[in-house]
Amino acid sequence: MHTHTTPITTAAIAAALSTARAKVADNKRWYNALSKAALELAASPWCWYATVNTLKIASRTTPGTWYIVDNNGCQCPAAKKQNPCWHAAAKRLLERAGEVAPVAPAAPARDSQADVDFLFN
Q: Is-contact 15 6, C-beta < 8 A?
A: no
Q: Say which amino acid occupies 60.
A: R
Whether 108 is in a domain gets the answer: no
Q: Is-contact 28 18, C-beta < 8 A?
A: no
DSSP annotation string for 65-117 = -EEEEBTTB--SHHHHTT---HHHHHHHHHHHHHHHSPPPPPPPP--HHHHHH
In three-state secondary structure terms, 36 is helix
Question: Based on the structure, what is the number of domains in the chain?
Answer: 1
Whether 28 is in a domain gets the answer: yes
pLDDT band at 11 (very low <50, low <70, confident <90, very high): confident
Q: Is-contact 93 37, C-beta < 8 A?
A: yes
Looking at residue 4, what is its pLDDT?
46
The pTM (predicted TM-score) of the whole model is 0.75
Whether 20 is in a domain gets the answer: yes
Looking at residue 5, what is its pLDDT?
47
Whether 78 is in a domain gets the answer: yes
Looking at residue 115, what is its pLDDT?
59
Whether 10 is in a domain gets the answer: yes
Which of 23 and 100 is assigned the larger pLDDT? 23
Whether 81 is in a domain gets the answer: yes
Torsion of CA 71, 75, 76, 78, to 10 degrees: 70
Q: 67 is in which domain, residue-wise?
A: 3-103
Tens-place pLDDT, residues 47-63: 999 889 999 999 989 99
Tens-place pLDDT, residues 68-120: 999 999 999 999 999 999 999 999 999 999 886 554 455 554 455 665 565 55
Whether 46 is in a domain gets the answer: yes
Whether 11 is in a domain gets the answer: yes
Percentage of the chain beyond pLDDT 90 is 64
Looking at residue 114, what is its pLDDT?
64
What is the DSSP secondary structure assignment for residue 17, as one 8-state letter? H
